[in-house]
Amino acid sequence: MSKMIELTDLNSDNFLEMLKNEDIIMYENIQGCKLFFSFNGEEVILKQKSINNDPINLIDISLQKFYNKALYHLINLDPRIKNLCQGKWFSCLYFPDEKPAHIRYDILPTNHLILNSVIKNNVFSFNYDEIMEYSELLNIQPLPILFYGKLSDKQLELLKYFLHTKKEDLEFIFGEGNDNFASFFYKILNPSQKNSILMKQGTYQEMLDKIIIKLKNESEISLSILNPLYSKEDSKSNNFLDIYSIIITDFLEYLQYINLESRYLKGKKYDEIYINIISDLFNQFFTERTNRIKKFQFEVPPFFYDDKFRLNIDMINNNQTKMLISSSEKIEFIFKVILQSFRFKKDKPFGIINKNILKLFNSYIDKINNMIDKSLRIDREEELIKHDLLDFGKFFKIKYPEPDAEGKFYPDLHNDLTNNINPNIKKKK
């Protein structure tokens, strides 16, 4: 990937001099969700945020409707297009709706995706002609360009003037009315364009954080002009963290009263088995603690009401679970927290969960993973038996791991919570 350098008044003169007589591409830093996709035959592989992350699996898709629109479009592409695109990864900005992150836009891109790079042999390539070609082939929008060509002396002078202006003097530069960071650069670089990217006519994005400059020759250096007036919204909520940890703790307490290892596991893949385990456990948990759950008063976080963050109920196979989570948003939220939480271990305490409860929490994740792994190995061995491919001498020597010492650790949750819960949480029912 290219190296991003921030243009400031300290280094601007050297870099602006470098841009003279160079073909450059300038564009807004669009705030979409980073999404990578590739085709493996007929199968679509998605990754979020980084090309190095694990692919999005059935559990991720079940947890929220966030990826539905991208998946629907990519899955339904002509197989001939998928074959032509094999061996490459495509870097996109994804818009499940008009507010994929903390910035709202007026207009959605074609099929909710903006192509901004093609990755071949794990090498990012910013070849705009190639981006245009593949975006047309995939029927998605290419990265919208603010400026393409050589900057004039007048444009370079205005850029230099802006970079040498103090933050407190920017209001004078922008002037009165609707002018802002975005409109200022549009008037310099592309005066015929009367709106920001993905904004309606006459509207310029107030929350634009920076303009990015790339050399057309695919240089490894990218330059960014920062908006000094930009400030990111803080959406974190300590209250939500407390609610999240209370739900996990209550579910952990229930798990200690059941024989987890004796449960029958259904499914042929890890994510399928995991969803079935959590669904089955949740049904029993809700049945045994119905009154307690119904009396648990808390406010569902506002973001949960966005359709993109709701559960993909159709991906849940358990009919009883479907019925429960369809009965109320509160129950759906509790199930979502549990389904999401028992996939990965946590490194440090959070909310009301202290070190002892964290140790118990991680031990149950080990138990669930060991159960699934054992089930998958048994299924594989049974398939080999059916096809006469198994060495029976090796088969009967297989020893499955027993639960380790941590799996037998049962802390006193009542005392742990009593000693660590904050006074405000105690007041909640």
SS3 assignment for 104-162? CCCCCCHHHEEEEEEEECCEEECCHHHHHHHHHHHCCEECCCCEEECCCHHHHHHHHHH
At 152 the pLDDT is 92
Asked if residue 235 lies in contact with residue 102, where contact means CB atoms within 8 angstroms, the answer is yes
Residue position matching structure tokens 């590739």: 38
At 108 the pLDDT is 95
Would you place residue 138 in the very low, low, confident or very high pLDDT band (cuts 50, 70, 90)?
Answer: very high
Non-local CB neighbours of 396 within 8 Å, separated by 6+ positions: none
Asked if residue 114 lies in contact with residue 92, where contact means CB atoms within 8 angstroms, the answer is yes
pLDDT at 385 over 90: no
Residue 280: C-alpha distances to residues 264, 319, 358 (Å): 10, 10, 23
SS3 183: helix
Asked if residue 94 lies in contact with residue 111, where contact means CB atoms within 8 angstroms, the answer is no
* Pairwise pLDDT comparison (272 vs 427), residue with the higher score: 272
pLDDT at 382 over 90: no
At 12 the pLDDT is 72
Q: How far is CA 241 from the centre of its chain?
A: 19
- The predicted-structure confidence for 223-251, as pLDDT tens digits, reads as follows 888 888 787 665 555 567 888 888 999 99
Spatial distance between the Cα atoms of 341 and 344, rounded to a whole number of angstroms: 7
At 107 the pLDDT is 94
88: left (phi over 0), alpha (psi -120 to 50) or beta: beta
Residues across the chain: 429
At 390 the pLDDT is 38
% of the chain exceeding 90 in pLDDT: 46
Which tokens is 353 given? 């969960």
Query: What's the number of CA atoms in the CB half-sphere (13 Å) around residue 292?
Result: 11
DSSP conformational letter for 308:
G
CATH 3.30.470.30 maps onto the chain at 3-226
Q: Which of 417, 414, 410, 419 is nearest to 359 (CA)?
A: 410
Whole-prediction pTM = 0.77
**pLDDT, the chain, mean:** 82
Spatial distance between the Cα atoms of 241 and 246, rounded to a whole number of angstroms: 9
% of the chain exceeding 70 in pLDDT: 81
At 392 the pLDDT is 34
At 233 the pLDDT is 60
pLDDT at 116 over 90: yes
Q: Which of 32-36, 38-42, 86-90, 321-325 has the lowest mean pLDDT?
A: 38-42
44, amino acid identity: V
Burial of 21 (0-12, 13-18, 19+ CB in 10 A): exposed
Spatial distance between the Cα atoms of 42 and 92, rounded to a whole number of angstroms: 20
SS3 78: coil
At the second CATH level, the architecture of 3-226 is 2-Layer Sandwich (3.30)
Asked if residue 331 lies in contact with residue 286, where contact means CB atoms within 8 angstroms, the answer is yes
Non-local CB neighbours of 44 within 8 Å, separated by 6+ positions: 37, 38, 71, 74, 75, 82
By DSSP bridging, strand 3-7 and strand 221-226 are parallel
**Mean pLDDT on 199-220:** 83
**Mean pLDDT on 15-22:** 82
Q: Which of 135-139, 222-226, 362-366 has the lowest mean pLDDT?
A: 222-226
168, amino acid identity: E
pLDDT at 132 over 60: yes
At 103 the pLDDT is 87
At 380 the pLDDT is 57
Non-local CB neighbours of 237 within 8 Å, separated by 6+ positions: 301
pLDDT at 173 over 90: no
Asked if residue 279 lies in contact with residue 321, where contact means CB atoms within 8 angstroms, the answer is yes
Residue 249: C-alpha distances to residues 242, 259, 288, 357 (Å): 10, 18, 16, 8
Q: How far is CA 261 from the centre of its chain?
A: 32
At 88 the pLDDT is 92
Q: Of 8-12, 97-101, 276-280, which one has max mean pLDDT?
A: 276-280
At 237 the pLDDT is 52
pLDDT at 70 over 70: yes
